[in-house]
């Protein structure tokens, strides 16, 4: 950690970063045309990482805008009965998501920093929007007559600054002699001064201490999937519901099945998993669920084999086939 680390003060727009997405959906520097550079400042990994995270937050908002403006999805606040003051999250839905009588597509991303509409932030930044976002899936689904619901399973809490706790000085309430109190206070001040000096050296930019306020009934990806099922998907008119779930999204779907087995079986026609990290043993999925998954799910996994080539699995659940990419 460097003592002379530059301020962690970054732009809050793509233009401020001097980047923009070109006509191919690639992130490029507006002056040089070069791709994003992570090591903007040599030997300052922490600063570079914070800069990358700040850009990632801007891209998250940019993708939200694309979902609304480019894909014509509606942003729906949850919990549906939230009070004005409580923490809230949101999902995105097409106009006909609940009324389409034939088919509904539900998209669930994986864990980490990604939010609704994204598969992988790294791919958005280093490759292009088509590689890293769900937008091509959404547009094709809508072109083929599907209603669409986009889940937001990582938006589980809001962060607020921790209130400062004022510690009362021991001299205020002590019955000790004045000379002894003064000596203790002096030692305490010297200790605090040394601690602050070393803390400043270790972490030159003391960041605000934050606390997390969890969103009711949406405090985890699994809770979120069940909540959206109960309040939206289960209420939809679609005769056939289809899921595409990536990585941890597959685990969230399996948990949904465990909690709502009969309902899921009655509405869901097929599930496409991509590199799903679900585990039917650890999640204690019953025999009837495993049998249903064998018939109705397929997991496309990282492999150099030709597309759809069967890939051996240790678990007795859904078929695993090659996604070609490694």
CA separation, residue 222 to residues 92, 154, 228 (Å)? 18, 10, 10
Q: Can you state the angle between helices 248-259 and 221-228, rounded to 10 degrees?
A: 50
Name, in order, each residue with C-beta under 8 angstroms of 214's C-beta and a sequence gap of 6 or more.
87, 156, 157
Calpha distance 198→191 (Å, rounded): 11
> Are residues 256 and 266 in contact, defined by beta-carbon separation less than 8 angstroms?
no
Catalytic, 310? Answer no
Name, in order, each residue with C-beta under 8 angstroms of 86's C-beta and a sequence gap of 6 or more.
79, 216
**Closest of 244, 274, 248 to residue 138, by C-alpha:** 244
> Are residues 315 and 284 in contact, defined by beta-carbon separation less than 8 angstroms?
no
- Single out the catalytic residue among 247, 276, 304, 310: 247
**Closest of 250, 219, 271, 14 to residue 111, by C-alpha:** 250
Name, in order, each residue with C-beta under 8 angstroms of 251's C-beta and a sequence gap of 6 or more.
221, 222, 276, 277, 278, 279, 283
> Are residues 224 and 109 in contact, defined by beta-carbon separation less than 8 angstroms?
no
CB burial of residue 202 (10 Å; 0-12, 13-18, 19+): exposed
Provide the annotated active-site residues: 247
């Amino acid at each position: 950690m460097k003592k002379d680390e530059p301020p962690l003060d970054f732009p809050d727009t793509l233009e401020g970063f001097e980047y923009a997405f070109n006509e191919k959906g690639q992130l490029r520097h507006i002056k040089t045309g070069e791709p994003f550079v992570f090591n903007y400042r040599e030997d300052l990994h922490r600063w570079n990482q914070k800069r990358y995270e700040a850009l990632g937050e801007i891209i998250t908002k940019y993708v939200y805008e694309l979902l609304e403006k480019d894909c014509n999805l509606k942003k729906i606040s949850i919990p549906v009965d939230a009070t004005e003051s409580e923490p809230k999250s949101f999902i995105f839905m097409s106009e006909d998501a609940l009324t389409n009588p034939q088919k509904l597509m539900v998209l669930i991303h994986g864990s980490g920093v990604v939010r609704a509409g994204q598969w992988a932030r790294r791919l958005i930044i280093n490759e292009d929007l088509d590689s890293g976002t769900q937008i091509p899936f959404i547009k094709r689904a809508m072109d083929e007559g599907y209603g669409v619901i986009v889940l937001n399973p990582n938006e589980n809490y809001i962060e607020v600054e921790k209130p400062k706790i004022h510690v009362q000085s021991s001299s205020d309430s002590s019955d000790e002699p004045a000379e002894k109190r003064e000596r203790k206070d002096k030692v305490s001040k010297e200790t605090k001064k040394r601690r602050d000096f070393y803390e400043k050296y270790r972490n030159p930019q003391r960041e605000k201490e934050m606390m997390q306020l969890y969103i009711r009934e949406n405090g985890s990806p699994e809770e979120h999937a069940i909540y959206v099922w109960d309040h939206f998907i289960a209420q939809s008119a679609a005769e056939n519901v289809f899921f595409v779930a990536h990585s941890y999204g597959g685990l969230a779907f399996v948990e949904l099945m465990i909690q709502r087995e009969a309902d899921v079986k009655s509405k869901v026609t097929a599930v496409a998993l991509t590199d799903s990290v679900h585990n039917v043993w650890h999640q204690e999925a019953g025999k009837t669920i495993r049998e249903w998954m064998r018939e109705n799910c397929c997991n496309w996994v990282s492999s150099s084999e030709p597309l759809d080539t069967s890939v051996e699995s240790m678990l007795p659940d859904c078929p695993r086939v090659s996604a070609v990419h490694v």
